[in-house]
Structure 1
Amino acid sequence: MNKYFFIGFILLFSTPLFSQAFKNDSIKLFIDKSIDLIKENSIHTENLDLIKHELYNKSKNLNSLNETPPFYGEVFKLLNDHHGSLTYKGENYGWKKNSSTTNFYLKQKIKTEKKVISKVLDKKIGYIRIPGNSDFAFKKVDSISNDIVSHLNSINSSKIEGWIIDLRLNTGGNMYPILLGLKEFIGTDLVFGGFKNSKDELTGEWQIKAGKMQIDGIELTRTSNLNYPIKENIPVVILISPYTASAGEMTTISMIGRKNTYLVGEPTADYTTAVQGFKINEYAGLNLSTDYVIDRNQKIYKNNIQPDFKIINGDDLENLKNDKKIIKALELLKK
């Protein structure tokens, strides 16, 4: 994480800066409410005094509250929270962290590849590619999970000896239907992940019991079933990329610690936090990173996910036989 060393600066200004007079008192109330929400709920509370000083200094002479929201991009940068944002009158104000790696081929593919793809490779390896989704309102949980199951049914059989789950184009969305669709791969009767806050307190748990999946206490059910079971502990390779983000990363973490499971590709996008929304007023709210995700072995993910086998570029979704990550995956599965 980036660190900001402003200790002397903060001490110098800490006494008088918060007593500044505002031209518009509603702006001060807005800033104070947002700072309180961050302090109470965010896993990132670094630099709060500096953040408050900067917001006060930039906003004290403004006439309208409408002029303040753009300053919150810098707020989230100082928080080191690129997953959160301020929403004000339908507009989002956040900070986009520059990725250390860029895969131009996959970046272009994300624009056109929107559907699940499945096929059999080398007559005995099941392959399924799952993109991101936009089901933030939880209206497509059934359709998305059933679509995944339908694709699995189209290729699964007694001849399948291993699986490749391709999450390279999974930019996020709703993780519930993805996990539900892949439930049989994750395991049976286990806790396979969850969330912890900045105090190391468990705030959510992902589990499968008696064949039913529960995420943070919410039971998820599927309306479709597999025609042929997924073999227990069958070898699985997960393909990841710099664009595997949020729900894509949660799906990856749900598999980490599973027997005979390997990650191949490039480090993920680093959106491994749970985000919750908090209301400031009728026009605005804060989306804050409130929890870190953990895997089945209680490992906390504060940064991106690293592959077991790093392969930079070499992607070819048109011809998978030439895809360097697929080639490595097949090599691992054949062993």
Structure 2
Amino acid sequence: MKNLKYLFIISLFIIVSCSSDDDGPNNTRVTNFLNNLVDQMQANSMNRKTIDWDNFRTQVLNAAADAQTFDETDEAVILALRLLGENSSFIEKEDGTFLAATPSICSLSNISPVTSVPDGIGYVRVNGFRGTTAEAVAFAENMHEDIRSQDNQNINGWIVDLRDNLGGNMFAMIAGIGPILGEGTAGFFIDADDNMQAWSYEDGASRLDQGRVIVVPNPYELINPNAKVAVLINNGVASGAEAVAISFIGRANTRSFGSGTCGIAADNARFSLLGGSTLFLAVESMADRNKVLYGSISITPDTSTTDENVLQTAIDYINN
């Protein structure tokens, strides 16, 4: 989305889709609805340049050959979402129910809380956040205070724990973890035409291009800004949290540990459809500071390990 790119995790449902060999729907309202859906996807999808849209449209219309109502197009809509080739897009129907391309692809591990780490190591848990701008500022301020309370001359490194963070407002999280992330461009949004917008952290603020998004009034600066950082990830890291994980890729003295993320690192825009449904369409892929695209690709850790062993592995990295 072109407003502040607040990225929210999608609750994906287990859905079965199928197609038909018929000649398409014989109901004009249904045909118009499906054409409207495909038109929006063709014009705006981040994958629009890699799709055969004539074949795409034919498959979707054929899948709704017997549909007489909008509700009876669900299988065709799910097929369209699958044909996009990514897992980020979804539909919210007028009744508040959702349609998505795949079963849930993000699995939570119910990790145990980290209650202590060895001396010389700072630990910051990054939780997902959804709320108002004022609440986002308070969220980021609290993270700065947590970092401030731990920082001292003897800190050798920091553990940034993103595990089971299903996302939310990425800019609140980036503003909060900014003292450890460091200043400068941390990632990009890139669309199918290679148009890009950079996100960054600078002087207590998360930024989108030149605009400040979430601003911490009295930001903290690390005593040792070049200390090692270990980023913990797993399959429960999604959407806005994946943006935070991407932000650390390419940072000096930094490695990630755990297992691959959910793989919905895209920016969704909202499009109204005929009949009252809303399409949340992935229009831009997230990319790291070196412009490596992720989109529907799971972020693979530098060191793979289980949730049970990941903390100790990160500690060993920092201490050695």
Asked if TM exceeds 0.5, the reply is yes
Secondary structure at 2:29 match in 1: helix
Identify the residue that residue 196 of structure 1 maps to in structure 2.
Answer: 190
1:38 aligns with 2:44: no
Structure 1 residues 180-191: aligned runs within 5 Å = 180-188=175-183, 190-191=184-185
Pairwise CA RMSD? 2.6
1:65 aligned partner, one-letter code: F
Determine the C-alpha separation between the residues in 1 that align with 2:91 and 2:251.
Answer: 37
TM superposition shift of 1:224: 4.7
Determine the C-alpha separation between the residues in 2 that align with 1:43 and 1:164.
Answer: 33
The equivalent position to 2:281 in structure 1, one of 277, 281, 288, is 288
Identify the residue that residue 7 of structure 1 maps to in structure 2.
Answer: none
Identify the residue that residue 310 of structure 2 maps to in structure 1.
Answer: 325
What does the per-residue CA deviation read over 1:85-123, in whole Å, with 9 as the maximum and x for residues that have no partner?
112112211122565x96xxx5334xxx8xxx7765211
Determine the C-alpha separation between the residues in 1 that align with 2:155 and 2:299.
Answer: 28
Determine the C-alpha separation between the residues in 1 that align with 2:114 and 2:293.
Answer: 32
The structure-2 alpha-carbon separation of the partners of 1:197 and 1:230, relative to structure 1 and needing over 3 Å to count, comes to farther
TM superposition shift of 1:159: 2.6
Unaligned runs of 5+ in 2: 1-20
The equivalent position to 2:117 in structure 1, one of 101, 118, 121, is 121
1:96 aligned partner, one-letter code: T
Between 215-224 and 299-308, report the one with greater CA deviation: 215-224
1:222 aligns with 2:216: yes
TM superposition shift of 1:52: 2.1
Task: Confirm or deny: 8 A CA contact 1:120 1:126 kept in the other structure.
Answer: no
Normalised by the length of structure 1, the TM-score is: 0.79
Determine the C-alpha separation between the residues in 1 that align with 2:179 and 2:149.
Answer: 16
Identify the residue that residue 72 of structure 1 maps to in structure 2.
Answer: 77
Determine the C-alpha separation between the residues in 2 that align with 1:146 and 1:212.
Answer: 11
Determine the C-alpha separation between the residues in 2 that align with 1:218 and 1:67.
Answer: 44
Unaligned runs of 5+ in 1: 1-12, 316-323
Determine the C-alpha separation between the residues in 1 that align with 2:301 and 2:161.
Answer: 13
Secondary structure at 1:231 match in 2: coil
Determine the C-alpha separation between the residues in 2 that align with 1:234 and 1:84.
Answer: 38
1:53 aligns with 2:46: no
Higher relative contact order (CA 8 A, sep 6+): 2
1:93 aligns with 2:99: yes
Determine the C-alpha separation between the residues in 1 that align with 2:83 and 2:53.
Answer: 8
The equivalent position to 2:294 in structure 1, one of 261, 279, 301, is 301
Number of aligned residue pairs: 295
TM superposition shift of 1:22: 2.2
1:107 aligns with 2:102: no
Determine the C-alpha separation between the residues in 2 that align with 1:282 and 1:314.
Answer: 45
Secondary structure at 2:109 match in 1: helix
Identify the residue that residue 160 of structure 2 maps to in structure 1.
Answer: 165
Identify the residue that residue 148 of structure 1 maps to in structure 2.
Answer: 143
1:293 aligned partner, one-letter code: M
* Percent identity of paired positions between Structure 1 and Structure 2: 22
Identify the residue that residue 3 of structure 2 maps to in structure 1.
Answer: none
Identify the residue that residue 131 of structure 1 maps to in structure 2.
Answer: 127
